[in-house]
Structure 1
Amino acid sequence: MRKMYKQFIFTALIVFSSIPFLSAQEALTLESAIQIALNNNYDIKVAKNDAEISKNNATKGNAGLLPNLSASGGVNYSEHASDELSSSAGLNLSYTLFDGFGGKYNYQILNLQKEQGDLLARFNIENTISNVISGFYELNKAYDNFQTSIKNLEISKERLSRNQSKYEFGNISKLEVLNSKVDFNSDSTAFLQAQQNYDAATRKVNVLLGRKAETTFQLIPDNADFQVFSLIDLKNETLEKNAEYLIAANQLQQSETKVKETKSGQLPTLSLNSSYSYYENKIAGSNSNTQLTGGLTLSFNIFDGKRKKTQIANAKIDQLNSDLEYQNTMLVLEKDLVDAYADYQYNLKILALQEDALEAAQLNFDQTREYYQLGQVTSTTFREAQQNLIEAINNKSAARYDAKLSEVSIKKISGTLLITGL
């Protein structure tokens, strides 16, 4: 009886430890996890800051399209009999009127780099959110396994108690009690391992959300339905919205514009220069003068050791490489999309099979349990039905989350992960 009491206390503690305290803990859904990550995740913050740098660089002044205006001034004192004191000030203006459209192309490149910065930020954010969703589903699966281990342990505890009672009344041998005790201890170990895995998955999700690993919350499992996709529509969406593809297309535009910018150096440059100066010299009296000057400068590089020619040739090679990378990106993305779509279809079929298997395993267990209580089947047969049920529950849980991960992969590749929602 004392052993039975200890086993009861152990099982009660296990069940009690699994009860959520909703009033004291935050409820974490998939949607709230994504929102927390968007606000807190450090990788996302870095991606947004990098995009801001690209935005700051995309100005006409950075492209050399605005004039330069500088001011200068000074005072000089010379200790002679006359105590000479002089002062001067000046303004200098310079502006490139024509540089073969180099400034224009440079400005276009800066704006393309700004767009690329936004796309890179989106690409990094999508990768991070994809990791958050994957981590959330891993946590869901660990939670399901944890709850299943509790159910399994309760069944084993009930079986052990029944066998101990039967043994006390002389209905079964000591061996059956020992077998049920071994199974109970094995299931207790499985429970602790499931709890350990759940705790580790919880800490992982917290870090992905950009907060302390020990943060407590009440998990709200995701039970959303699966979406139906059209492969043709997905291919079109990928070419319109996939960040990686758009980055490759942007890089190709940059390289094409870079060729034009490099070629602009073969044309003459026309610049406007103007200055205004003021000078005052104080000796016994005071004398001052001002001067305004201005002019145009035309320059043309007749020979530079073929450096410009080399730059143009290299720019064309960069353009060719960008085009090759663009074409390769399209091929790889199409292959990845088809793979993800095929995986999704297979995983949905596997899920359907696992659901049927679980239904059969549940019916078999319920029937076997009834026969076992009536003494019509052996303890070994009951244990087999129990193990088949637990395996079926875990297989169905794993199949569901595998299918969900495939669904997320499709959305990520098609560029709709953060656009269409979940």
Structure 2
Amino acid sequence: MKFNKNKIVLVVLLVALQGFSQGVLTKNEALQIALENNFGIKIANNNLEVAKNNTSIFNRGVLPTVALNTGANYSRNNQSLTFTDRDTGNDAEISGSGIVSKTYNASLGVNYTIFDGLGRKYNYQQLKETYNLTELQVKETIENTYLQLFTTYFQIARLSENTDNLSEALAISNRRLKRAKYQYEYGQSTKLEYLNAKVDVNNDSITVINSKQLLNNAKRGLNVILGSKEDVNYRVETAVDYNKLMNYEDLKTKTLENNSLLRQNKKNIAISEFNIKINQANFLPSLNFNTAYGFNRTENENLINPFGAKLITSDGLNAGINLTWNIFDGGATKTRVANSKIALDNQQILLEQQKVNIENNLKNSWENYRNQLFILSAQEQNVLTNQNNFDRSEERFKLGQITSLEFRQAQINLINSKTSLNNAKFDAKLIELQLLQLSGDIMNVKF
């Protein structure tokens, strides 16, 4: 018995995914599970199998057709026969009732089209191009799944880090509340300080709850992409690496050569070209060959005609060649050819339109990517600055040198800067993935 190593690995991953509640689901593990279980990919692969079947020899019209026909008839009639006697010139009649006649027949026929104006040839080439188009559609589906998967994966990572930061802020607010409570009880501060600290704890608690809800929703969304039927909980990797080697000219070259939409449109152009030739084939004659072997048997059980045959049998082989040329069909073929040429022109126009749109998307995404990397660098500096400011503010707050409102503001500034850093970090990665999808290179990403 042969075992598929990839299948075994996948089963292990699925069991692991179902078996732990807070294990780490790596990017590679998520990708392997999605590629095997994603519903969209399964449907796309089935469509590819259909396209493969359509290109088989059984769907190309190059094989003969063989038909077997057989039948039997039974008749029981009353008959009468009137004839003139040659010697006397008088009419005489013979009649009978319940005259039974049985007929049996069978034939085996073969039909084959020798020439059909090259229609079969162009139809087969069109089917091959359709199969290639379906392959590109499968590739596009997988690319979209990559982007959808990692968009959701990094959204979970973003929300995980934001939730951790908010939980840390809540812990700081709880310590401040405890301090304010002790100071109020011992008469070292007013009740207003205590109430303000309590309000801030409540607000931070609500923020944490909302963030956790968004995180759980994102995880359930990822389960759908992974094709998981269970509501599995897990942690994800939050580390992000960027492709430092990307440059615009290389991306543009790869996009024009490898973009899935552009390649699909080129296949549609090829299919339209063959469609013209298929329609033009109707202008030419067709030559067909047919042959059949037949057998017939008639049994007459009782006869009223003395010259009739009680048993009649016949069998033999027949063959023939037919030439058909539809010289004029009312202009139907001419119309189909003209319309197929217009369809080809539309596909060529669509290709040019797609090139313009995709190049525009590439330019916009590239500029956004470069800007996002700059924002990421700036936000890293902001976090360092706000962390330093918060640490100093916390020390001064403990010494009573600043008010609780000033301390709270320093805390809010730190939370906001960390959130902005997370957003910039994951936004830059998602834009990078969009660039890789445009260039047809997203499936080569290494995580």
Deviation at 1:23, TM superposition (A): 5.2
Match of 1:70 among 67, 70, 78: 67
Matched, 1:219 2:235: yes
TM-align CA RMSD: 2.2
How far off is 1:360 after superposition?
0.9
Deviation at 1:287, TM superposition (A): 5.4
Residue pair 1:72, 1:91 contacting (<8 A) in 2 also: yes
Instruction: State the shift of 1:83 in Å.
Output: 5.1
Bigger drift between 409-418 and 282-291 goes to 282-291
Larger deviation, residues 89-98 vs 243-252: 89-98
1:153 aligns to 2:154 (yes or no): no
Structure 1: distance between partners of 2:434 and 2:369: 9
Contact 1:270 1:299 in 2 (8 A): yes
1:12-49 per-position Cα deviation (integer Å, ceiling 9, x unaligned)? xxxxxxxxxx9544532222222222222222222222
- Aligned twin of 2:306: none
SS of 2:103's equivalent? strand
Question: Which segment drifts farther, 286-295 or 323-332?
Answer: 286-295
- Give 2:66's aligned amino acid: L
- Where 2:402 maps in the other structure, the secondary structure is coil
1:116-172 alpha-carbon deviations (Å, 9 max, x no partner): 122222222322332221111111111112111110000001111112222333322
Q: Are the counterparts in 2 of residues 333 and 413 from structure 1 also a CA contact under 8 Å?
A: yes
Match in the other structure for 2:387:
362
Distance in 2 (CA, whole Å) between partners of 1:417 and 1:398 is 22
Instruction: Tell me what 1:207 maps to.
Output: 224
Does 156-165 or 115-124 show the bigger shift? 115-124
CA contact 2:240–2:425 (8 Å) conserved in 1? no
Q: Normalised by the size of structure 1, how large is the TM-score?
A: 0.89
Distance, in Å, in 2 between the alignment partners of 1:340 and 1:388 is 30
- Measure the CA separation in 2 of the matches of 1:200 and 1:61: 49
Q: Which residue of 2 aligns with 1:259?
A: 276
Further displaced range: 401-410 or 193-202: 193-202
Larger radius of gyration: 2
Match of 1:120 in 2: 137
In the comparison of the two structures, how many residue pairs are matched?
401
Partner of 2:436: 411
* Cα distance in 2 for residues equivalent to 1:148 and 1:420: 29
Residue equivalent to 1:337: 362
What is the DSSP-based 3-state SS (H/G/I as helix, E as strand, rest coil) of the residue aligned with 1:305? Answer: coil
Query: Aligned partner of 2:279: which letter?
Result: T
Cα deviations across residues 310-346 of structure 1 (Å, max 9, x unaligned)?
A: 1111111011001111111122112212222221111
Q: TM-score with structure 2 length normalisation?
A: 0.84
User: Can you give the 5+ residue segments of structure 1 that lack an aligned partner in the other structure?
Assistant: 1-21
Whether the 8 Å contact between 1:27 and 1:217 is mirrored in structure 2 is no
The residue aligned with 1:28 is 25
Shift of 1:208: 2.5
Residue 418 of structure 1 aligns to a residue whose secondary structure is helix
Tell me if the contact between 1:59 and 1:110 (Cα under 8 Å) persists in the aligned partners. Answer: no
Aligned to 1:168: 185
Q: List aligned pairs for 1:184-333, cutoff 5 A.
A: 184-212=201-229, 215-228=231-244, 229-282=246-299, 288-333=313-358
Show the counterpart of 2:87.
Answer: none
Name the CA shift for 1:25/1:391 in 2 (closer, same or farther; >3 Å): closer
Is 1:99 the counterpart of 2:144? The answer is no
- Structure 2 gaps of 5+ residues are 1-18, 78-97, 302-309
Measure how far apart 1:189 and its partner are: 1.5
Does the CA contact (< 8 Å) of 2:24 and 2:237 recur in 1? no
Q: 1:92 to 1:206 in 2, by over 3 A?
A: same
TM-superposed deviation, 1:78: 3.8
Aligned-pair identity in percent equals: 35
| Partners of 1:219 and 1:140 in 2: CA distance | 8
User: Which one of 137, 142, 145 corresponds to residue 159 of structure 2?
Assistant: 142
Moved more, 163-172 or 382-391: 163-172
Mapped partners of 1:273, 1:326: distance in 2: 46
1:227-257 per-residue CA deviation (whole Å, 9 max, x = no partner) reads 1212222222223322211110000000111
